[in-house]
A and B are shown apart, each in its own frame.
Chain A
Amino acid sequence: MSRFDTLPAACMVWDGPAPAPGGVVLEQTRELDKFLAEIERRAFRMAQVALRDPDDALDVVQDAMLKLARNYAARPSAEWRPLFYRILENGIRDLQRRRTVRKRFMTWLPGPKEDPDNEAQDPLDTVADTAAAVPEQLMQDQAIAKLESSLRELPARQREAFTLRNFEGLDVAETAAAMGCSEGSVKTHYSRAVHTLREQLGEVW
Chain B
Amino acid sequence: MSDETLELGQRTLEERSRALFRESVENVDMRVRSRLTQARHAALFAADRSSRRSWFMRVPVWGSAAGVSAAAVLGVALWFGGPLAQHGAAPAAESAFEDLDIVASSDEGSGGDAMEMLQDDIDFYAWADKAANAEPSA
Contact = CB atoms under 8 A, between A and B. Distances in A.
A43 to B, nearest CB: 9
Interface stretch (A105-113, A175-183, A193-201): A193-201
Contacts of A20: 51
B50 A140 contact: no
Interface in B16-38: 16-18, 20-21, 23-25, 28, 32-33, 35-37
The contact size tier of chain A is 35 or more
Interface of A: 16, 19-20, 25, 29, 32-33, 36-37, 40-42, 44-45, 54, 58, 61-62, 65-66, 68-71, 73-74, 140, 143-144, 147, 166-167, 194, 197-198, 201-202, 205
A198 B42 CA distance: 40
Given A29-B44, A58-B36, A65-B40, 12 more contacts: A32-B47, A40-B40, A44-B32, A62-B39, A62-B42, A62-B43, A69-B46, A70-B43, A74-B51, A143-B16, A202-B9, A205-B12
Interface residues on B, range: 20 to 34
Nearest to B36: A40
Interface of B: 9-10, 12-14, 16-18, 20-21, 23-25, 28, 32-33, 35-37, 39-40, 42-44, 46-48, 50-51, 54-55, 58
Contacts of A37: 40
Contacts, number: 105
Given A61-B36, A167-B18, A194-B10, A69 B44 contact: yes
Contact of A45 (B21, B39, B44): B21
Nearest to A30: B44
B36 A16 contact: no
Contacts of B58: 19
B16 to A, nearest CB: 6
B40 to A, nearest CB: 5
Given A33-B44, A144-B23, A70 B50 contact: yes
A3 B14 CA distance: 26
Contact of A166 (B17, B24, B25): B17
